[in-house]
């Protein structure tokens, strides 16, 4: 079983308007509510693919209760730390006359050392039934930059595999724990290394630098151009079919979920990448914060091409 850990989840509210006019009254023609946060999205996609998983993290207030109920109603096991402050609300405004969407994200609750210690206890309990953890998303206020490093060390010292999907200082510090896999996108890769990723070879060289730090698998998402994986088996690029993209929200999380599902099924890593890109592509076809469907993933999977670059 895979466990996802989301420290800063969100209550996602998506509103659709036609021809948004700033500083005027705009009529909302559609509203959608979803649980959000990178780890929670990974759990949702894993469940859609038929892979059992458990969702851990920190939630609070009515927005947190919504997330818990939503996941459990769909058969996802949860074990959240409950806090007094409400889970943040993220607002996405979709203008059908002028894409892409506009996002407005709250900061979320302040997390104390006591809350992190409580989460650690739940992670230790989860180690009884899972040796595969996905740590994903931003850190909430109050968490030191090395929080993911600390949590990854906690599980890896006990023989578990950890995947990290975050950015900025949380990624810089998290890498020090040498997780099994990281998944930056092209711009995040450039930001952390302090140089532009102008070519495919630049990306490959950067991924190899992280491999030298002890990370076994480095995946860089390239949006509509697919993804590159550098691992013990070599360097692979997954090329998705051309699609009509509706929203990129959650596509990277879906990529991670597909790779995790493939690893759990003991597929070759190149096939894990193929499944991940199929999931990300299928999610890009859905509106707003909607995620992929299993039917779309299965249909797209046969159209994803894998190239071995080196």
Cα–Cα nearest to 272, from 112, 161, 123: 161
Cα–Cα nearest to 251, from 215, 232, 277, 228: 277
Catalytic residue (choose from 12, 165, 253, 296)? 253
In the annotation, is 233 catalytic?
no
Residue 310 to residue 308: CA distance in whole angstroms:
6
Say if CB 36 and CB 11 are below 8 A apart.
yes
Residue 259 to residue 275: CA distance in whole angstroms:
6
Cα–Cα nearest to 29, from 42, 16, 19: 16
Active-site positions read 253
């Amino acid at each position: 079983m895979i466990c996802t850990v989301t420290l800063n989840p969100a209550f996602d509210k998506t509103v659709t308007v036609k021809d948004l006019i700033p500083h005027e009254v705009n009529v909302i023609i559609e509203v959608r509510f979803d649980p959000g946060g990178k780890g929670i999205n990974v759990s949702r996609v894993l469940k859609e693919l038929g892979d059992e998983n458990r969702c851990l993290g920190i939630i609070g207030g009515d927005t947190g209760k919504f997330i818990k109920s939503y996941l459990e109603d769909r058969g996802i096991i949860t074990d959240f730390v409950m806090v007094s402050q409400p889970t943040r609300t993220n607002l996405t405004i979709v203008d059908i006359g002028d894409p892409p969407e506009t996002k407005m994200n709250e900061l979320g609750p302040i997390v104390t050392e006591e809350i992190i210690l409580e989460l650690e206890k739940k992670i230790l309990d989860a180690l009884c039934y899972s040796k595969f953890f996905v740590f994903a998303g931003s850190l909430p206020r109050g968490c030191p930059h090395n929080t993911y490093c600390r949590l990854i060390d906690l599980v890896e010292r006990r023989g578990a595999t950890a995947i990290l999907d975050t950015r900025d200082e949380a990624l810089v510090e998290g890498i020090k724990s040498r997780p099994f896999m990281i998944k930056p996108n092209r711009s995040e890769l450039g930001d952390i290394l302090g140089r532009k990723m102008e070519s495919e070879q630049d990306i490959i060289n950067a991924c190899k630098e992280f491999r030298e730090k002890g990370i076994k698998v480095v995946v860089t998402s390239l949006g509509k151009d697919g993804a590159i994986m550098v691992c013990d088996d070599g360097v692979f690029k997954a090329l998705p079919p051309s699609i009509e993209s509706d929203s990129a929200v959650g596509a990277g999380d879906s990529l991670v979920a597909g790779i995790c599902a493939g690893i759990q099924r003991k597929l070759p890593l190149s096939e894990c990448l193929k499944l991940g890109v199929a999931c990300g592509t299928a999610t890009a076809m859905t509106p707003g914060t909607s995620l992929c469907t299993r039917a779309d993933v299965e249909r797209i999977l046969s159209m994803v091409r894998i190239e071995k670059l080196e």
